[in-house]
Amino acid sequence: MALAWSGRTEAGAERELLRFLPQEVRRVLEGALAHVPPPWEEIRLRAGRPLALVVRDETLFLDEAGRPAPAGRARPVGAEEVRRSLELITGHSLYAWQEELRQGFVTLPGGHRAGLAGRLDSEGGHVRTVREVSSLNLRVARERVGVARPLLPWLLERGRPLSALLLGPPGSGKTTLLRDLSRAAGDGEAAGGGGRPLRTVLVDERFEIAALAGGEPTLDVGAATDVIEGGPKAEAFAVALRALNPELLVCDELGRPEDAAALGEAARSGVAVWSSAHAASWEEARRRRLLAPLLEERFFRRVAELERRGGRFGLRAVRDGDGRPLDARWIELETGSPPERRGGPP
């Protein structure tokens, strides 16, 4: 199985994020590119605490030169540096990202995500925004063409897509896998290799799967894939079913009761849905109030459990709609043939 980092080198993704950091922090991280080879998963800025990277699920503190160092000798991040990073992330315009800040994250060009922590400003029992941001978590978005291939045969029946749910804890690769599933469906790879692209609608509520820029996806989500970005899933599904005649809907992170209702609407229309949810396993998903009814009604014909082992992403099990394991082997999604790289550094 050949994987490709399409359009961006590994360090390219990290470098894309550096421009959202103040010059002094950027200098340290540019040094770190030599000492801590990419791929990096996260860049962590916590006011008054050491600058850190998360690489293969492991936290590394960095010294002034960007070398891994114990916490006591690592370079601390100033509160002013966190504030300036937030200015750069929001284009000096926090008000323009109010809804995103309320949810605790901002999606950056290229699908990267900046998570925020700080003092919550509430009104009437609802979070209005995050004030005095004290921590930033810049998560590097990765485009991994081909990672969906081992899973694809399970999600198709005579070339037609079956509704499927990806389960996994945060950081287990659900979004990366969904993006490649969307690409495979829209490119025709999903339809049994026959080359018939599936009419796919990608509902990208958090702007991180396709990362549209000027209407064009900056990440590969498939040639026959329409993208609906922003907006609640329920409304986006209604638009897709009314106007775009999809064979397949792809969406990230089921989390609200309305999402379940929207899936029901899609099922009644005979349209398959590939989606994901936070849950470590089938058993845990069955205990979740939102997911339990969907699983009991056998809305999903396939459920795939994702897991990280030793910093590697993989499939732990593929189940049918009743929860019976169809394949319980560990299948690594990250390795295989060495990455075949397209394009040079940006």
Partner 1 sequence: MSFLLHALGFALVVGGSTLAGQLLAWSSSRRPGELAELGAGLRLLMSQVDYAARPLPEALAELGRSAPGAAGHLFRRVGEEMAAAPDQPLERLWERAVEALGEEGGLGAADLAPLLRLGAALGLSHRQDQLRHLELCARDLGAREALLRGEAERAARMWRSLGFFGGLLLAVVAL
For helices 79-89 and 23-35, angle between their N-to-C axes, nearest 10 degrees: 90
Choices 1-9, 54-62, 86-94, 176-184 (CB under 8 A): range interacting with partner 1: 86-94
How is residue 284 annotated by DSSP? H
Going by their DSSP bridges, the two strands 312-320 and 216-217 should be labelled as unpaired
For 178-213, letters b (16+ CB in 10 Å) and e give bbbbbbbbbbbbbbeeeeebbbbbbbbbbbbbbbbe
Residue owning tokens 């998560």: 139
Tell me which of 9, 107, 129, 182 binds partner 1, using CB under 8 A.
Answer: 129
- By the rule CB under 8 A, 90 interacts with partner 1: yes
Choices 58-66, 83-91, 162-170, 271-279 (CB under 8 A): range interacting with partner 1: 83-91
Name the residue nearer to partner 1 (CB basis): 88 or 238: 88
How is residue 170 annotated by DSSP? T
- By the rule CB under 8 A, 95 interacts with partner 1: yes
Tell me which of 56, 119, 131, 286 binds partner 1, using CB under 8 A.
Answer: 131
Two tokens at 206? Answer: 């958090």
Q: What angle do CA 222, 294, 210 make, to 5 degrees?
A: 20
Minimum Å distance from CB 42 to partner 1?
22
In this structure, are residues 118 and 130 in contact, taking their beta carbons and an 8 Å threshold?
A: yes
Q: Total number of residues binding partner 1 (CB under 8 A)?
A: 19
- By the rule CB under 8 A, 228 interacts with partner 1: no
- By the rule CB under 8 A, 268 interacts with partner 1: no
Residue owning tokens 């063409």: 145
- By the rule CB under 8 A, 56 interacts with partner 1: no
Two tokens at 286? Answer: 């069955």
Tell me which of 91, 153, 311, 346 binds partner 1, using CB under 8 A.
Answer: 91
Alpha-carbon distance 294 to 288, whole Å? 10
- By the rule CB under 8 A, 245 interacts with partner 1: no
Choices 81-89, 233-241, 268-276, 325-333 (CB under 8 A): range interacting with partner 1: 81-89
Residue owning tokens 């593929």: 318
Residues contacting residue 227 through CB under 8 Å, at least 6 positions apart: 201, 202, 204, 209, 210, 212, 217, 221
Tell me which of 65, 79, 96, 243 binds partner 1, using CB under 8 A.
Answer: 96
Residue type, 225: T
108-127 binders of partner 1 (CB under 8 A): 121
Name the residue nearer to partner 1 (CB basis): 95 or 214: 95
Name the residue nearer to partner 1 (CB basis): 24 or 327: 24
Binding mask 5-44 for partner 1 (x = CB under 8 A): --------------x--xx---------------------
Contact positions vs partner 1 (CB under 8 A): 19, 22-23, 84, 87-88, 90-96, 98, 101, 121, 128-129, 131
